[in-house]
Structure 1
């Protein structure tokens, strides 16, 4: 369920970054801020459990950043 949500957010950000690159940064940063807060909260668990619980948030944040970056890069390669 959560994975599908992250995939949907990445897809929306990819399309948004391709269509309006400047306006895509704010939603991307907001999503990354939210995921960062989740990672921080999960990381407060003791020991290895904290690292294990925060890892999905970190990888999701990285995926969001990559999808926005890819959309803006693809837009830059277009001939128009």
Structure 2
């Protein structure tokens, strides 16, 4: 369920970044903030369990930022 949510957010950001690159920054930063909070909360667990709990949030955050960057990059390469 969570994976499907992250995929949906990435798809929406990709399309939004392609259509309106400047306006896509705010939703991307909001998503990054939420995922960062989850990562910090998971990282408070002791030892390797903390790294294990925060890893899904870190990888999701990286996917969101790559999605937005890919949409803006594609927009920059488009002829219109």
Q: TM-score of the superposition, structure 2-length normalised? A: 0.99
Match of 1:5 in 2: 5
Matched residue, 2:32:
32
Q: Unmatched 5+ residue regions in structure 1?
A: none
Q: Which residue of 2 aligns with 1:14?
A: 14
Give the match for residue 54 of structure 2: 54
Counterpart position of 1:69: 69
Q: Which runs of 4+ in 1 moved over 6 A?
A: none
CA RMSD of aligned residues (A): 0.3
Q: CA deviation at 1:34?
A: 0.3
Deviations 1:3-59 (A, max 9, x none): 000000000000000000000000000000100000000000010000000000000
Tell me how far apart the structure 1 counterparts of residues 18 and 79 of structure 2 sit (CA, whole Å): 13
Aligned length: 80
Tell me the TM-score normalized by structure 1: 0.99
Q: Structure 2, unaligned stretches of length 5 or more?
A: none
